A = this chain, B = another copy of it.
Amino acid sequence: MFIQIEPQSDVPIYEQVTRQIIEGIARGEMKPGDTLPSVRSLAADLGVNMHTVNKSYHELEEKGIITIRAKSGAIIRSTEERALTPEQLQQIEKNLKPVVVEGMVLGATAEQIEHMMKKVFSDLQIPAEGV
């Protein structure tokens, strides 16, 4: 699989897994309807514990990105199913705020931050439409 774990990172492993799965979806490497590998197989691939991957999957479910069918598997939700709720928008803004404010105080201009944001988009080779 495409996930690469950095054990020395200050980012927890389960969080690394979560982020890279999200990134994989953003890249289009995984599409809505696709099933994620079982927690056991992915854990074996990554050389981590089953529960670590399981925690990541549940985090993805809580974010509204996948659906976990008990004793069956995890499926990536369609863009319709995961229509952006006001709560999600608020959460994104909440996550965005400290990063942007810190950037500002460090001397970054709005244009610089905007440019970085667009760079993140383009680095993922996203078509003009969106996800």
Contact = CB atoms under 8 A, between A and B. Distances in A.
Interface of A: 19, 22-23, 25-26, 63-65, 79, 82-84, 88-89, 92-93, 95-110, 112-114, 116-121, 124, 126, 130-131
B89 A108 contact: yes
Per DSSP, chain A at the interface is helix
B117 A110 contact: yes
The interface centre, meaning the residue of A65, A96, A101 with most chain B CB atoms within 10 A of its CB, is A101
Contacts of A25: 105
Given A92-B99, A99-B92, A99-B95, A131 B116 contact: no
Contacts of A102: 19, 22, 63, 92, 95
B98 A19 contact: yes
Contacts of A104: 26, 121, 124, 126, 130-131
